[in-house]
Amino acid sequence: MTESSGCPVQRVAMISVHTSPLDQPGTGDAGGLNVYVVETAKRLGARGVEVEIFTRRTSASLAEVVTLAPNVIVRHIDAGPYEGLDKEDLPGQLCAFAAGVMRFVAISPEGHYDLVHSHYWLSGQVGWLAADRWNVPLVHTMHTMSRVKNRALAAGDRPEPKGREIGEEQVVKVAGWLIANTDTEARELVELYDADPERVRVVPPGVDLDVLRPAGKSACRRELGLPEDADVLLFVGRIQPLKAPDVLVKAVARMIEREPERRGRTVVAILGGPSGSGRERPRALQAMARELGVADVVQFVPPQSRTELARWFAAADLTVVPSHSESFGLVAIESMACGTPVVAANVGGLPTAVGDGGVLVDSHDPNEWASVLAGLLDDDERRKTMTDNAIARAREFSWDATTDKLFDVYRHACEAPPRPYDTHLDFATVPTAVVP
């Protein structure tokens, strides 16, 4: 007997149009969303819920169906060319993607799915159609929101397009339930998108505490080829203006300018690949490091597996998260789970994630970041206290706890009276590329 016996939720269709759960987080458009989908799907599957994840095929070599875990499969849908499409191009492929999903379900028995859970606004557009057609609840997780991102743009970065903003408004209006990562995100859904607060549920993401856990710093440094006595600063994430890795590079340059003796003992490791507008100048950060005279202390490392990532976290003295916008900040929790304190921007969900396991910085001024980082690197006792706090804080977040709360939303969605989809949206204002 499974844990889901007696529960109306037996089969869930998850939709992740723009990025596959099979992709390596840290490059392209793969990031925290991928981790969220994989970890919650695996744990739902372990409870006996069948999860089918629909995503866009990005290579001819990908099988139509891939088993991700027991009770969890990934279905690849053909929608547009396999390669060469950026996320910004995908609204024009939503009709093709939705048609592919509908084509599969046409050969399935009636009532095949109990609900649809869509991730990100593009998926919400398809989920809206699928849930309406199948007469099942739509649960939606935004992950990021254009109105939030556009209020905190990095210098020179492009704002999110109006079409996305309209698409998000539609999804908020029609979704039966909206999942927010934090209380801050829940408030933003209500204040910026006029979401019904009764339909918003806060479900914090988690961390894999079995993989991401404290380990010996000296041993990890030896395995990674890092000097045992170095001051190691770590950035993990996609290389794009939104994530602000340039703030770290500039801050380190200021630190060395103020105290030249730091050069010989400072190592900055940047793990990730170009993403978003960062793809337009994929080596801009390397060029900046050279121009600022710190190329000798900055290492660029490609995205790593979770096991390798845990080693990097454990090897670092501090993990730096200077993002301009974060709905939660999964990297912060993952670092803290490995016993490494975090220095993060005071934005979005990062205050919730970090707690007393790190320090929040109120600006993106490299001078201020330089002072904070230098002060912490020179204060072993304070870092030790932060390390203990970080480990304790991370233990408050687990994917099992996330799945418990998500499962409760699913139960409620399936047991509640059906909520009719609102068909009175003002389509006269909606670009045709947005509506599947």
The reply, when asked if residue 316 is annotated as ligand binding, is yes
- Residue 223 has which token pair? 């395995």
170 appears as a binding residue in the annotation? no
At 257, the amino acid letter reads E
- Residue 59 sits at φ, ψ, to 5 deg, of -155, 140
18 is in an annotated binding site: yes
Q: Please tell me whether 383 is known to bind a ligand.
A: no
Does 394 count as an annotated binding residue? no
313 labelled binding-site residue: yes
Tokens of 247: 């703030």
CA distance 78 to 56: 6
Token code pair at residue 117: 């859970």
The secondary structure of residue 169, as a DSSP letter, is H
Annotated binding residue at 291?
A: no
162 is in an annotated binding site: no
Q: Which amino acid is at 173?
A: K
* Surface-to-core class of residue 261, CB atoms within 10 Å of its CB (0-12 exposed, 13-18 middle, 19+ buried): exposed
Question: Is residue 183 marked as binding?
Answer: no
Task: Mention every residue, 6+ apart, whose C-beta is less than 8 A from residue 61.
Answer: none
Closest CA to 41 of 78, 63, 13, 79: 13
Coil, helix or strand at residue 47: coil
Cβ atoms of 35 and 79 within 8 Å: the answer is no
Bridging pattern class, strands 177-180 and 266-271: unpaired
Annotated ligand binding at 87? The verdict is yes
Is 340 annotated in a binding site? The answer is yes
173 marked ligand binding residue: no
164 a known binding residue? Answer: yes
Q: Is 299 annotated as a binding residue?
A: no
334 known ligand binder = yes
Residue positions in the annotated binding site for UDP-N-acetyl-alpha-D-glucosamine? 24-25, 32, 238, 243, 304, 326, 334
Binding residues: 18, 24-25, 29-34, 87, 120, 144, 164, 238, 243, 304, 313, 316, 326, 334, 340
Q: Which residues are annotated as a binding site for Mg(2+)?
A: 313, 316, 340
Q: Which residues are annotated binding-site positions for 1D-myo-inositol 3-phosphate? A: 18, 29-34, 87, 120, 144, 164
